[in-house]
Structure 1
């Protein structure tokens, strides 16, 4: 058991060595966030098992849990490494303090002994009276005073050093207790990971027995997704055209001119921004990587771009945004202030809301009831509507981001935590 303990300790220390250093507080916050995400996935899997079995969904969610457990293991390994480093520093501090305190106590004992030998008031008086002259007597009085002060300062230093040692030992005790707790956590995390991997292997064996059926199902879902993506692109183009037409009409009424190049070439592909619109666009762009999540709680279950299917890895799928899995009953919220360009029913019956932020657009898909309408001004984190829960019990918001008609990866615009 002790050998296993030491092996785990060594592995944890080596793994984290050379990694980008994070503070203990940052690591703890990230660990808590991962645990929240794991609990969401566990709840989804629990609900899934009460319904008609959907193997692909179970594999997808179990795969997410495996990835989260690996992140958790990585996080705790970093915490263990940081704690080991703190223990090492504190042990060195304790050793130094003990050596210094031992020397101080010896010096003080010698001082007390020397003082004891000359402690009588008669001896001190005779020492002064035996002076050859007044100046020498004065110097001897000053010497005795300084000697008494020095003895007091030595006593104070011994006391201070002893208190420092006591504090360091208490700190060391806390750090070692934390180390034990983290190692126990890590052993449990490793056990959970192995259980999840075993479950995943069983699920994958079921899929392999009827691979053709599941491939057909995946391809069908991809075709449905592509149809919705085409609809969203069309909505964005139409929204830009309409916004530019309204802007030109307003400019004409106010006696302003619109350049020919703007009117002819940009009307379908880019917003004709007013000075105010440019400010909004600049502010939006300045917040890249800092935008709040479009849900209060959740995790990215399908990232942006081309990627192997999480179950049938030989199939490549494309995601034009990010899919964020959240709790049943969750509501979507605006990631930035802006104007509602469009509220549209998509194939399948769910709704999408498009919000303009200068020449940027954020799209919120898979909504049920919507709490905004076309033309509304929305503020940061304003409620947009409820997120639909599908027949499999999944509540997933698809979030897209574009600049004019160019689709961007929205994950790089969101803050690390929601």
Structure 2
């Protein structure tokens, strides 16, 4: 009797189904982690931007806050939909596998029952002995003995296979029940999130209607705000170029270079900074990124561009600012009609902390990771507490989100 190919096929099918199940399970975990991230972000947004609606925020700030909240809520809906769709595919696959297993079990049990009947009819020791003694020669007798053993083993294997498939069927039914409950919960959660989104979209439309009545004035304010940001960024760029020139001159190198010439100690510090890419702590203990890095349209007038050389983090009043890595305070920048800026050098990297109200450090101070360097400024008229944070490699800006943990 040759049953090995059948068992190999069954094993391969089982291995394949386990691999697919594992990959789907990994995908579900990944999606759930993202869903949790967006849910936590919404909680932070509500706590930091919407906790006190009595404060007189400007229309522009309200629109910015609401736009941010809506974008996060849309991401949450998208991820939840992806989860529900994946669960639907898993449920369908499980149902198909259950049907297939039931059919296999039916066939196996019928085959096994047939074997038991045949075995019962020829189970007497006498009939087996007669079967062996009636052989024409020793070779045939040996083959018949092997056949009896194989038949007994096969019967045992079939019994084990039925038991294994029955257990697998029970597991699949349990999984199916859990998956259906999970999907029902996701669908219900998403309904509530969509309902809240509809409320926010109506609120957004009302705010934008108020802005459109005097759009030219708000557009002018947005352009003026960007000019103010550009003025501060230009001054930071100039100071970084000057720091590179002074550092390189001290090292006896060309002053026109746009890159720092590093001492062995500064090289080691830069390497440590680089090795922590994506793992740096946030510059504030609690916060949400309200404005991201790079060029983006203004939420008020999409013809106006916002060019952000770093990120803007909304946080709580009185929040302390922390150095994100070991380094040396290279500059405390005080610009007329703007709040102070602290610049910390980490080899050929510089981290920049804008919109400070209090400064706890001075130029030349060595600082450690998470050391408090000052406080974030709170705008009295809007109630907003916003830290500007940037990362530079030599004289070029970097996206802080790729450096700071889960930003």
Q: Deviations over 1:163-217 (max 9, x none)?
A: 0111111112212222222222222232222221111001111112233443343
Pick aligned residue for 2:313 from 306, 318, 324 = 324
SS at 2:96's partner residue?
A: helix
Q: Does 1:35 align with 2:35?
A: no
Counterpart CA distance in 2 for 1:409 and 1:403 is: 7
In the alignment, what sits opposite 1:395?
Answer: 385
Change in Cα spacing, 1:151 to 1:337, as seen in structure 2 (3 Å) is same
Offset, 1:160: 1.4
Change in Cα spacing, 1:89 to 1:132, as seen in structure 2 (3 Å) is closer
Counterpart CA distance in 2 for 1:356 and 1:46 is: 35
**Residues 330 and 363 in structure 2, CA contact (< 8 A), matched pair in contact too:** yes
Question: After the TM superposition, which of the residue ranges 69-78 and 230-239 deviates more from structure 2?
Answer: 230-239
Structure 1: runs of 5+ lacking an equivalent: 1-20, 249-257
In the alignment, what sits opposite 1:124?
Answer: 125
**Residues 60 and 300 in structure 2, CA contact (< 8 A), matched pair in contact too:** yes
SS at 1:23's partner residue?
A: helix
Q: Return the TM-score normalized by structure 2.
A: 0.80
SS at 1:233's partner residue?
A: helix
Q: Return the TM-score normalized by structure 1.
A: 0.78
Question: After the TM superposition, which of the residue ranges 353-362 and 82-91 deviates more from structure 2?
Answer: 82-91
Counterpart CA distance in 2 for 1:219 and 1:141 is: 95
Q: Does 1:265 align with 2:269?
A: no
In the alignment, what sits opposite 1:221?
Answer: 225
Offset, 1:288: 5.1
Say what the alpha-carbon RMSD is for the aligned residues. Answer: 3.2
Counterpart CA distance in 2 for 1:329 and 1:82 is: 44
Correspondence 1:19-418 to 2 at 5 A = 23-119=27-123, 123-125=124-126, 127-128=128-129, 131-132=133-134, 147-244=151-248, 247-248=250-251, 258-259=252-253, 262=254, 264-266=255-257, 270-285=259-274, 291-347=280-336, 350-391=339-380, 392-404=382-394, 406-411=395-400, 413-415=402-404, 417-418=406-407
Counterpart CA distance in 1 for 2:49 and 2:393 is: 37
In the alignment, what sits opposite 2:16?
Answer: none
Counterpart CA distance in 1 for 2:74 and 2:349 is: 35
Offset, 1:61: 0.4
Change in Cα spacing, 1:400 to 1:142, as seen in structure 2 (3 Å) is closer
Paired residues, what number? Answer: 379
Counterpart CA distance in 2 for 1:317 and 1:204 is: 18
**Residues 312 and 388 in structure 2, CA contact (< 8 A), matched pair in contact too:** yes
Counterpart CA distance in 2 for 1:321 and 1:230 is: 13
Offset, 1:106: 0.6
Structure 2: runs of 5+ lacking an equivalent: 1-24
Offset, 1:364: 0.9
Change in Cα spacing, 1:299 to 1:22, as seen in structure 2 (3 Å) is farther
Change in Cα spacing, 1:237 to 1:383, as seen in structure 2 (3 Å) is same
Offset, 1:87: 2.1
Counterpart CA distance in 2 for 1:237 and 1:141 is: 92
Counterpart CA distance in 2 for 1:138 and 1:273 is: 84
Counterpart CA distance in 2 for 1:137 and 1:292 is: 79
Question: After the TM superposition, which of the residue ranges 207-216 and 123-132 deviates more from structure 2?
Answer: 123-132
Change in Cα spacing, 1:207 to 1:139, as seen in structure 2 (3 Å) is closer
Offset, 1:289: 5.3
SS at 1:198's partner residue?
A: helix
Offset, 1:375: 2.2
Counterpart CA distance in 2 for 1:97 and 1:244 is: 74
SS at 2:50's partner residue?
A: helix
